[in-house]
Structure formats: C-alpha cells, structure tokens
Structure 1
Amino acid sequence: MTTLKIATIQYGLTDIHSAEHYWELMAEKLQEAVRQEAELVVLPEYVTAHLLSLVPAMDNEEACRYLDSFTTVYRNFFQHHSKETDMVIVAGSHICQEADGYVNTAFMFFPDGRVETQNKFHLTPEEKHRWLLKGGDSLNIIHTRWGKAAILTCYDIEFPEIARIAAARGVELILCPSYTDSAAGYHRVRHCCQARAVENQLFVALSGIVGSLPVGRPQIDEGHCQAGVFAPCDVPFPNDGILMSGRLNENMAVYTTVDFSELHKNRKHGVVAPFYDRRPDLYEREEKARV
C-alpha cells in the first residue's frame, strides 16, 4: 500500500454543555472524515482538556485527576469508532496516570482493536513545573499497513535528534498532535515540522487546537494552529514542501493523500539527500572537541 489519505484536525474550542455533548461533537468530526474517505485521522494534543470547561477552574493537580477520570471512556470511545469507521485514529493526547505520576500520552487506535501509545518526551516548563508531568523515555515505532510511523507530540518536534532516530529506524511518517496557545508557539512547531520533513526526507502531519473558550481555564483557554501535511522541499513535491494546509485558526479538517512511492523517489532522485548525506564521524569528532 503506497497511498494514505490523512485527515488532520484543527479542533475548535466551543461552548460545550456536557461530557455527552463533547463526545457527540467528536463523533461528528469522525463521521465527516469517513465521508471524505480518510484512512487516518490526527487529532490535537490535549484534545480532552476541552472537558475542563464543564467544571469550575481547578489547579493543575486537580485538572490531571479530573481528566484521568475520563481515561476509560476515552479509550472505549476511540476503540469503538476506529472499528466502526475502519479508520486509524490518532486521538490526540490525553492526561492519564501511571505508576510514577501523570503523563501526557498520545494514543493511536486501530480498527482491529490494537492501541499504540507514546508519552511525550520533552515537557515544556509549564508541563514540568506547574503540571508536574513525567516525560516519556522510550520511542514507539508503530507498524502500520502503509509503513512505520512515530508520534512526536508538539514540543517533541522541536528536537531534531528524536526525529532522526525515528527516521533511521525506518519511520516515513511523523505524526505531530499539538496544542499551542500563542502564535509564536504555533510557528515554532510548524517550522520544526517542516524542518524535520526536509532533513529526514519523510512526511509530517500536524494537528492543533484553535479558537477560544467563552470562559477560559488555566490549563486551556485558546489555541493557534494551521494544520497541515508536509514533505521535503524537493522533487517530486511542491517547492515549499506543503502538501496541504488549513485556514489559519479555523475549526476545520485538512485532507490530503500522501504517496510513499513519491517519498522513495525523492530519497533516490532528489536534488539533495540530507537523510543520507550526514557526517556522523564529523559530528562525533566536533562534539568531543567541544568538550
């Protein structure tokens, strides 16, 4: 299988009046993707934080406990809808509890019932010092019917080392669910998504939260994003490497079909080959010299 139709979501914060209403809206987004014949859906980081708008403002520890209370419902909902729709669903990320504390975990649901997870590696200062989350310490290379994928959540994409490791292990699609509450934060993540696509000669799919809540919460108030799917800036792809992108900060889904055979052509016949033309010996020598 060389082609894959991706739906990457600009998830709009709206006024919801119950948890049931939230899940109904989520089901509507998934049904829209079905009508567009998407095979993979990518939802944003912290997508379930929208549920915090249903309760009075909490401190971060209370918010973690509250969001974790939805973990069983969250898993059951997306497992059911993945099977019913025959779509692979990257259900954004969700705060859940592990033995040593709370983690920001991205979940990927498959129609056959398989569930893959990836804890966010690189935590922002807010996540470390205010949320008191624990960072991930193991990269999950996810095998799919179209090839290998990896999930690098938001801030993770700003670190080229982990993306290069994923690429060296055969990953050709990086999935980047994000939540950025400022234009600067969005542009950092967006530019790094495109940089990772260029330097590793692979595809990157970015999703994010947009809009604002009528009454904000300390953990989520507004979002900035222009979701998209990116490729190397080289033949046979568009000059700017943008396969498709949404309209800035609008509540919408972005659909595009990626062709992995074109990626293989790029790696063999591109004008440049940054995936292959690395100089590890040079980098190692210079790193030692710096010390």
Structure 2
Amino acid sequence: MGQIVGSAIVSHHPGLMQCEEFRRLQGAGEDSDLIAGYARLRERIAAAKPDVIMIFDSHWFTTGYHLVDGGARYSGTYISDEMPWYLHGVPFAYRGHPKLARALETASRARQGYVRVIDHPDLGRHYATVNLVKHLRLELDDIPVVTVSSCQNCRWEQFLQSGEDIGEGIRASGLRVLLLASGALSHKFNGIDWKPNHPRIFHENNVSSPENIESDKGAIALMAEGRHDLILERWDAEYRRKPWEAFGAHYLQMLGAMGGADCRAKGEALSAYENARGTGNIHVWFPA
C-alpha cells in the first residue's frame, strides 16, 4: 500500500531566486532564512526516502477540475510573466510520474470527484513548482515530481475533498509520496509605492498588516500543536478573508490527503516567518 511519508508548507517567492549578493543587500547584510530552511527541508526529504514528490502549486490556476500533470518528463527554460526582469532563463529538467497521476484520477472518479490527469507536451510550468525543484535540488537527486493545480471555482471544502481523493490515490499507488504545499499564508501585496517598515526587507514587520501577521502566527501556532481542525473551524471567518495564497488551496489539498480535520501532524517550523512584498512566508514540516 502506498503512503504519505511527510508533508510541508513551503515558500516559493521569486525573491529567493535572486543571487545571494542581492538577497543580502535586501536583507541589510543577512540572507533570507527561507534559504537556510530549504537546506533543512532537504534533510527531511532525504530521510523520508520518497519515490515521488507531489507539489500543490498555488500558481497553476485551473477551472472545472483539479488537474494533475501526467507527463513522463518536463524540461525547458522558465521565464516569469509576472517578474521577467529577474526571474528568467531558469533551466529545468525533471521526471514526472504518470503512474501516480493516473492513480489519483482513478481514485477520484471512483469517489465522484474532480481530479483529472493532463498530459500535454506544451503544458507550461509555474514558478511555484520550478522554484522548489531548483532550491530542493530535485533534478540532481532525480526524484520524480507531480504537480497538482489550484482549481479556482471551488469552495474550501472542495479543496479538502480533492485532497482526500488524492490521499486515496496515493494509498492505491503503492508509492512513497512526499507532499509540498507551495505557497504563502496571508497573501496581500504591499502597494507599488510601498516604503519598508524595517531595513531588512525580509523582516516580518514588512508583512502587509499587523492583523495579517497576528493571523499567520496564530495559524502557525495551531499547526505546531497539530490542531488543523481549529484552523478549519476558523477558515471562513478568518483565513479565507485575509486571504491566504490561492485561497489556501495548497494547504487544504495537502491537509485533505493527510486526513483533513482528523489530522494531528504537528508542524515544525524550518525557517523564520518572513515578508515577501507584503505576503507571509514560512517553511513548516509535518512528519508522517
């Protein structure tokens, strides 16, 4: 029987793809702790020995279905249409895992769900996947990667449901799968004319508002206690209204695969909580 061998919320923000020298200029001499956090996460991944990495991509927006990329291999050179002045010319070449992708669709169809496989040679990549592939050195370790979309016409409960379908598919696959929810928590950008509140750009005081900082930290504390049920109880009143990146699709789908409200996996912070143009970012690891 297949199993989930670990999970994590992981930041992918574009500033982390800039050179260390420039990051330290932005950090008043210090690098982002999210960079060191990637190294800590790599250690957890190596120890978990997954057959496949699954990335819930908060930038791959789809309509009508939760899509899973089912290609055997992905390669190309990435340029961001959002920030092409520095996120460009990024080569990538990594394996997919068609067998796992098909197992997810089969499980979802059996449950009358909406998870479907797409396998097309021209299907584009998004930096919520590419940045993790690069920082976690998944190409070098030759670990297959399967990406799942964020279906934009869903209620939050339907993200949980798609995660449950995915969990069933993983169990049926016979594979060891590690889940990465690629995205931020609160996701409100500072204005174009924004002036930093702290000289270190990555510092949490530069997150969009004190209320968002308080809310993000409250969620991180609940994750540390394994109280995902309480996060779900507050979703409509708090986290949906902030809102989280992709309305929390990446976290909710990951959580659904892990057991939803019954999940008690305790989150270990692998980085500091940091700002990225107003958004709240952190790496949090959940053991199997």
Whichever structure has more strand as a proportion of its residues is: 1
User: TM-score per shorter chain, which class?
Assistant: 0.3 to 0.5
Q: Which structure is richer in relative contact order (CA contacts within 8 A, separation 6 or more)?
A: 2
State the structure with more CA Rg. Answer: 1
- State TM-score, norm by structure 1: 0.34
